Amino acid sequence: MQRIGFVVIRGVQMMYFAALSVFEFANLGAGEPRYAIEVLSEAGGPVPSSAGVAIDTKPFDDPAFDTLVVSGDMQITAASPGLIDFVRRAQAKSRRIASICTGAFVLAEAGLLDGKRATTHWLMARELQRRHPKVKMEEDRIFITDGDVWTSAGMSAGIDLALAMVEKDFGAGLARTVAQKLVLYHRRAGGQSQHSQLLALDAKSDRIQTALAYARQNLKAPLSVKELAGAAHLSPRQFSRAFHAETGVSPAKAVENLRLEAARLMMEQGRHPMEVVASETGFADRERMRRAFLRAFGQPPQVIRRNANMAV
């Protein structure tokens, strides 16, 4: 049975413990204990979360874990000398060390990320890079594995990181079972972007949201303004005006962004030929998709795929 330690500090966010649930459900899915879970803090006892709920913890003791997962806080306060020492000793005795969200700042302060590829929440990534220039920061990644160190983006990305650990430890079958029990997508690829085009478009009215949902479900179709306006039950002229007012972009640009997101996801999660990716996401051919990737990302699809494969 593998020993999993979850380190918490004052102000930890409750969402951090969603990753703990992955290991809990791995035990349930396997029908036997696969992971022994411990929640730790420097002094032990109750640790207040950012929501005001106190978390009961054990004090730091033997740092020999199979996996140690470190949290951060919303203020990015400096890690205590005791925490830094514990993390450094744990790396020497543990199979892997991980951070979720701003927990990467703790690993960076301990020197564990020097020379390594790492990620954190995109809002904090540049601050981490400023404080710790030796870190090879990749701010637009869900999670990254570099040797024995794993780092993830914002709190929900900790679930993806934990599912990837379960898959690595006990196979894709158990990870899939855990995801199903938690009513999750199997897991997002580590190289996947932290940003979603549907979130970026941020439509406010039901009609424009309906049109966007229709577009995402029918990317292989031409998706003309007339077709999208029909889904929104508006005239093409009304639709175009309302769409731009709510999203800040034209319907054509929004459709291209949704196609780019879908194509990037296909490349990150599979080995589909580029011609298949282009066809399935509505780009018509590989060359049109390549030009769209260059406009949006400054890189061709092959480079995006290679970077995604390097992330795990």
Q: Give the active site residues.
A: 101
Tokens linked to 58: 């054990």
Which of 97, 110, 93 is CA-nearest to residue 147? Answer: 97
Distances (CA, A) of 122 to 34, 72, 304, 307: 33, 14, 18, 17
Other Cβ atoms less than 10 A from the Cβ of 87: the count is 25
- 153 neighbors 141 (Cβ within 8 angstroms): yes
Instruction: Compute the distance between CA of residue 83 and CA of residue 57 in angstroms, rounded to an integer.
Output: 14
- Cβ neighbors of 44 (< 8 A, separation 6 or more) are 57, 58, 59, 60
Q: Which among 110, 67, 54 has a CA at the least distance from the CA of 87?
A: 110
- What is the enclosing helix (H) or strand (E) of 97? strand 96-99
For residues 8 and 90, what is the distance between their CA atoms, to the nearest angstrom?
15
Compute CA distances 178 → 18, 21, 115, 175, 207, whole Å. 12, 9, 33, 5, 36
